[in-house]
Structure formats: C-alpha cells, structure tokens
Amino acid sequence: MAGQRVLLLVAFLLSGVLLSEAAKILTISTLGECLAGEFPDRRFPDPRTARAPANGD
C-alpha cells in the first residue's frame, strides 16, 4: 500500500515538473519567434512592408 502511495506521489510530482518545463519551452519559443519577426505583433505595421495610404489620408 505504501508503495502505491509513493508511486502516485512520484507520478503527480513528475507530471507537474514536465508541465512546467513544457510551459517554459513554449514561452521561450514564442518569445524567440516574436523577436525574430517570425510571429509579428499585428497591432503595429512592419516598417519594412508598410505602404503609404493611396488616397493621402
């Protein structure tokens, strides 16, 4: 019975650690894409591709 409790505790803690590591990896990956311009912020136009308005607005 004690072995089952230990196994359950280890599984619970391991899943928490793995979830934490996955979150870190995804955060770093997304941040890297943003900084590299591969995942641009849609609120601001990219100055390399922005065009002046055609009607002078």
Domain ranges of the chain: 15-40
For the chain, 57 residues long, give each residue's pLDDT as a single digit of tens.
Answer: 788 999 999 888 888 888 888 888 888 877 776 766 655 556 666 667 766 666 655
How many CB atoms neighbour CB 7 within 10 A?
10
Structure tokens at 11: 């599984």
- Contact (CB, 8 A) for 20 and 28: no
- Cα angle, residue 31 at apex, residues 51 and 36 outer, rounded to 5°: 45
Would the pTM count as exceeding 0.75? no
